């Protein structure tokens, strides 16, 4: 973007900045975050250079693409009324008074009263006017704010508006202290950028710095791949993504930058997909016929959906290209059966199979099921977790035993992250199954895969995402969807209830227990927290014990020792524990058919997908099941979100709603997939750009697979692939 009166400087032909260089396996390199800023910032003060160093902004290109996380409309001052309760708002006002207090349990709280827009008040401050103009703001555990938020200070605040018996309230709002000596055209009376920060970097300081570096200097960037004609140029998009003149320019700028993010992601996926087709593996002949024998011994008939996915996997395992398939299915759809059948097919060829689960509870559950199914077929099943003693682990732990007892026969190991370490070895790893794949990072998955020679990979998830979105995101995987539940699953009645209705819920739970059933009670926290207003499992466990006496109540959470967890789950499965009080650690892997009731407290703190996963722990037996969602949603939208659970038991429909309300979160990112992380793109909101970039990336790579016409794009993609390989090596 040219500034008036300045000479136009030709744009440099450089690509968007690639990821950091891969870390070598030799001496540890100095972290990039500790390197001094480049000569681009020699004109800045030492304090400003320190800010940029803390934000890992090392050169001008870093600075240009250090985008705001949102913009606040500071062109007008808001007056508050009841219609805005539950909304996130920007307000402006002056501190009238402040106070500090200590609440029950030693919880410190600091509170200020803000008079909103005092300059517009032309009438006496009546009690009615104060109700509309006075806003209380509260911070927990932050007594130091008393020094800066003193009487008379003018503030800009951003937070969610609540209402209690005393009036309007914001809890832990973000704020800026206004200074009349600073340039108001940067901070006020405009669409004001809000940047992601770290400790010691002031919002107003970094905003002023970026304004002068971006808006008062030429933008020198160049396009490095063909850009659709209807998208604006980078020269125009970058300044307007920071300091837009109007909302339309901001929207157009963000669409261009989001498209760039998606285009790079889709190029990586397309290259990964094509690269996988070039890898060939020699398929060993079948030494046994175990697959048919396995299916014949089942006490039930697989569903049509399961048989369809089984056929897809059978075709994959006859193909010389290693399988890389995702099986996506709702809670209780029978993904485990699919995984076990795939492992049996690997054993038929004298190979070993490994199944990695995210928790010891889920690994233990898989181990018990696999032993029941596979040992009658003569297939060894081992359990490999950090909690198990050597004698309990899989024979695959020992190279000597592997070469004698199980040589040429194949076996199966179930484990947790412990499978990633050197104690787990195998020479014939033919199949890797990863359950709840979204809970593992790229380094972990690749580390396990690299224990074999191009093993087949089957990843499973019971956290569904919308079908069309999934096909676009999982662009480097073959996707199978189990869209049918096995017969015999009992219906689950789901009800939303408020805190004051808990006595009725406990009475119903006691009745269920007296009839011989079992129940779960789930809380979001282990211990009480000053920062989070939510119930804790340790405290509530003690309260539930007398309510259920003389029936036994168990406690389960992630901080228990492995043998303690195992003992609790063993007693719950055996029916000795009637009520299990737990954190979301039971989200996956717990299968107790006699459990017919689940109570989830502070349900508003969970995503819909997680609530659906938790609810899937019941409804597994012949008896009717019930799920009670207890919450105090702070807004109508929050309550409507919980009501979605009452209306549907379809995980895909619930996922659609969850995406629409909460966004997709980090479905893909460096931690989860080895793909370039998304900073501004939203898979659901920008779905049209996602589909468009997928099509454009595919066409470009088809016409120029080596990217000879676009060397800058090739360098960036090569850097991303190199980073992924390095993560696997050092992980």
Structure confidence by residue, pLDDT tens digits, 503-516: 999 999 999 999 99
- From residue 81, alpha-carbon distances to 168, 173, 620, 708 in Å are 9, 18, 48, 60
> Is 681 among the domain residues?
no
Mean pLDDT of the chain: 80
Q: What average pLDDT does the segment 69-86 reach?
A: 78
Calpha distance 95→149 (Å, rounded): 7
Is residue 65 located within the same domain as residue 103?
no
Has residue 671 been placed in a domain? no
Q: Any idea what the Cα angle at residue 475 is, between residues 469 and 479, rounded to 5°?
A: 75
Residue 691, pLDDT above cutoff 60: yes
pLDDT at 674: 53
The answer to whether residue 676 scores a pLDDT higher than 70 is: no
Q: Are residues 442 and 583 in the same domain?
A: no
pLDDT range class, residue 454, cuts 50, 70, 90: confident
Cβ–Cβ under 8 Å, residues 149 and 100: no
Mark whether 164 and 126 lie in a shared domain: yes
The whole-number average pLDDT for the span 3-20 is 36
Same domain for 170 and 205, yes or no, is: no
Question: How confident is residue 595, by pLDDT bands cut at 50, 70 and 90?
Answer: very high
Confirm if 383 and 354 have CB atoms less than 8 A apart: no
pLDDT at residue 31 greater than cutoff 50: no
Within a domain: 725: yes
Judged against a pLDDT cut of 60, whether residue 693 lies above it is answered with yes
Structure tokens at 354: 């490994």
pLDDT in tens, 321-352: 999 898 988 877 888 999 999 999 999 988 88
Q: What is the mean pLDDT of residues 176-194?
A: 79
What is the residue whose two structure tokens read 């007892």?
405
> What distance in Å separates the CA atoms of residue 384 and residue 367, rounded to the nearest whole number?
10
Give 371 or 663, the one with higher predicted confidence.
371
Is the residue at 675 inside a domain?
A: no
Range of the domain at 160: 76-189
Q: Which one has a higher pLDDT value, 131 or 497?
A: 497
**Domain boundary residue, one of 482, 516, 548:** 482
Q: How far apart are the first and last CA of the chain?
A: 43
457 and 356 within one domain? yes
467 and 508 fall within a common domain: no
Q: What is the pLDDT of residue 588?
A: 62
Supply the pLDDT for residue 449: 75
What is the rounded average pLDDT of the residues 239-248? Answer: 94
Q: Answer whether residue 284 is part of any domain.
A: no
Instruction: State the pLDDT at residue 243.
Output: 95
Sign (positive or negative) of CA dihedral 567, 572, 576, 580 = positive
> pLDDT tens across 353-376, in order?
999 888 787 888 888 889 889 988
Does position 599 have pLDDT exceeding 80, yes or no?
yes
Asked, for residue 599, whether it belongs to a domain, the answer is: yes
CATH code for the domain of 528:
3.40.50.300
Give the CA distances from residue 155 to residues 92, 101, 197, 641, in Å, rounded to whole numbers and listed in that order: 6, 22, 19, 33
Last residue of a domain, which of 189, 218, 233?
A: 189
Mean pLDDT of 410-429: 78
CATH number (domain holding residue 82) = 2.40.50.140
From the list 337, 456, 361, the residue with the least C-alpha distance to 416 is: 361
Pair 462, 329: CB distance under 8 Å = yes
Q: Do 314 and 426 have their domain in common?
A: yes
Query: Could you tell me the CA-to-CA distances from 221 to 16, 230, 666 in Å, in that order?
Result: 8, 19, 29
pLDDT at 494 over 80: yes
pLDDT band at 585 (very low <50, low <70, confident <90, very high): confident
Q: Can you tell me the distance from the alpha carbon of 655 to that of 661, in angstroms, rounded to the nearest whole number?
A: 10
Domain co-membership, 305 together with 356: yes
The pLDDT, as a whole number, for residue 234 is: 92
Q: What is the rounded distance in angstroms from the CA atom of residue 218 to the CA atom of residue 7?
A: 9
* pLDDT > 70? residue 645: yes
- 54-68, 140-154, 465-479, 685-699, range with the lowest pLDDT: 465-479
Q: What is the average per-residue pLDDT within 8-12?
A: 35
Give mean pLDDT, residues 239-268.
94
Q: Which of 375-389, 559-573, 690-704 is least confident?
A: 375-389
- 297 and 205 share one domain: no
Q: How many domains does the chain have?
A: 4
pLDDT band at 709 (very low <50, low <70, confident <90, very high): very high
Distance, CA of 214 to CA of 209 (rounded, Å):
9
Rounded percentage of the chain residues whose pLDDT exceeds 70: 78
Higher-confidence residue of 158 and 253: namely: 253
The closest of 340, 344, 328, 357 to 302, measured between CA atoms, is 340
Task: Look at residue 39 and tell me whether its pLDDT is greater than 80.
Answer: no
254: nearest Cα among 268, 266, 242, 267? 242
Whether 547 and 498 map to the same domain: the answer is: yes
Distance CA 479, CA 499 (A): 42
Q: Say yes or no: 82 and 63 in one domain.
A: no
Position 487 in a domain: no
Domain annotation covers residue 433: yes
Q: 28-42, 515-529, 702-716: which range is least confident on average? A: 28-42
Residue at a domain's end among 189, 218, 235? 189
Q: Is 136 found in the same domain as 44? A: no
């Amino acid at each position: 973007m040219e500034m008036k009166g300045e000479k136009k400087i030709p744009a440099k032909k450089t690509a968007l900045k690639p990821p950091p260089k891969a870390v070598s396996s030799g001496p540890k390199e100095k972290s990039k975050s500790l390197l001094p800023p480049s000569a681009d910032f020699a004109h800045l003060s030492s304090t400003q250079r320190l800010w940029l160093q803390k934000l890992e902004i090392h050169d001008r290109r870093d600075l240009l693409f250090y985008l705001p996380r949102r913009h606040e409309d500071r062109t007008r001052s808001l007056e508050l009324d009841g219609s805005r309760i539950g909304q996130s708002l920007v307000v402006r006002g002056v501190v009238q008074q402040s106070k500090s207090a200590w609440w029950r349990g030693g919880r410190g709280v600091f509170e200020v009263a803000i008079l909103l827009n005092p300059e517009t008040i032309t009438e006496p401050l009546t009690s009615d006017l104060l109700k509309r103009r006075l806003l209380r703001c509260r911070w927990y555990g932050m007594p130091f704010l008393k020094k800066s938020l003193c009487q008379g200070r003018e503030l800009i605040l951003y937070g969610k508006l609540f209402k209690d018996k005393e009036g309007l309230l914001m809890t832990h709002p973000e704020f800026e202290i206004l200074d009349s000596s600073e340039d108001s055209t940067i901070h006020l009376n405009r669409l004001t950028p809000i940047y992601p920060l770290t400790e010691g970097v002031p919002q107003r300081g970094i905003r002023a710095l970026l304004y002068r570096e971006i808006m008062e200097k030429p933008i020198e960037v160049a396009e490095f791949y063909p850009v659709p004609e209807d998208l604006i140029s980078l020269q125009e998009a970058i300044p307007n993504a920071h300091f837009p003149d109007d909302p339309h320019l901001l929207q157009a700028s963000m669409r261009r930058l989001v498209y760039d993010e998606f285009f790079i992601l889709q190029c990586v996926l397309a290259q990964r997909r094509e690269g996988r087709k070039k890898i060939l593996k020699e398929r060993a002949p079948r030494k046994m016929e175990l697959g048919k024998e396995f299916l014949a011994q089942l006490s039930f008939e697989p569903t049509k959906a399961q048989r369809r996915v089984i056929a897809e996997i059978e075709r994959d395992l006859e193909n010389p290209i290693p399988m890389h398939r995702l099986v996506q299915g709702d809670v209780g759809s029978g993904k485990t059966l699919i995984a076990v059948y795939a492992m049996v097919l690997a054993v038929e060829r004298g190979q070993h199979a490994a199944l990695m689960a995210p928790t010891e509870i889920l690994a233990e559950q898989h181990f018990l099921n696999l032993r029941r199914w596979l040992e009658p077929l003569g297939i060894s099943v081992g359990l490999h977790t950090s909690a198990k003693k050597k004698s309990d682990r899989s024979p695959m732990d020992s190279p000597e035993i592997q070469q004698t007892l199980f040589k040429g026969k194949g076996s199966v190991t179930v484990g947790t992250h412990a499978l990633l370490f050197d104690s787990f070895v195998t020479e014939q790893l033919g199949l890797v199954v990863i359950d709840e794949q979204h809970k593992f990072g790229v380094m972990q998955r690749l580390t396990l895969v690299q224990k074999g020679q191009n093993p087949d990979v089957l990843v499973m998830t019971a956290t569904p995402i919308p079908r069309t979105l999934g096909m676009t995101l999982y662009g480097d995987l073959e996707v199978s969807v189990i869209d049918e539940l096995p017969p015999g699953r009992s219906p689950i009645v789901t009800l939303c209830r408020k805190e004051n209705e808990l006595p009725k819920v406990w009475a119903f739970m006691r009745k269920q227990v007296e009839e011989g059933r079992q129940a779960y009670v789930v809380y979001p926290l282990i211990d009480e927290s000053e920062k989070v207003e939510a119930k804790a499992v340790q405290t509530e466990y003690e309260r539930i014990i007398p309510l259920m006496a003389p029936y036994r109540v168990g406690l389960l959470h992630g901080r228990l020792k492995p043998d303690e967890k195992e003992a609790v789950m063993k007693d719950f499965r055996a029916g000795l524990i009637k009520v299990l009080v737990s954190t979301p650690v039971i989200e996956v892997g717990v299968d107790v058919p006699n459990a017919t009731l689940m109570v989830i407290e502070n349900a508003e703190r969970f995503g819909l997908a997680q609530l659906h996963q938790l609810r899937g722990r019941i409804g597994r037996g012949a008896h009717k099941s019930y799920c009670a969602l207890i919450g105090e949603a702070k807004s109508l939208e929050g309550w409507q979100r919980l009501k979605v659970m009452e209306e549907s038991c379809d995980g895909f429909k619930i996922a659609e709603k969850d995406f629409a309300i909460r966004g997709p979160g980090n479905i893909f990112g460096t931690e989860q997939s080895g793909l370039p992380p998304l900073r501004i793109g939203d898979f659901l909101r920008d779905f049209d750009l996602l589909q468009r970039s997928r099509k454009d990336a595919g066409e470009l790579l088809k016409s120029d697979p080596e990217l000879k016409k676009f060397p800058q794009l090739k360098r960036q993609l090569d850097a991303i692939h190199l980073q992924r390989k390095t993560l696997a090596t050092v992980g």
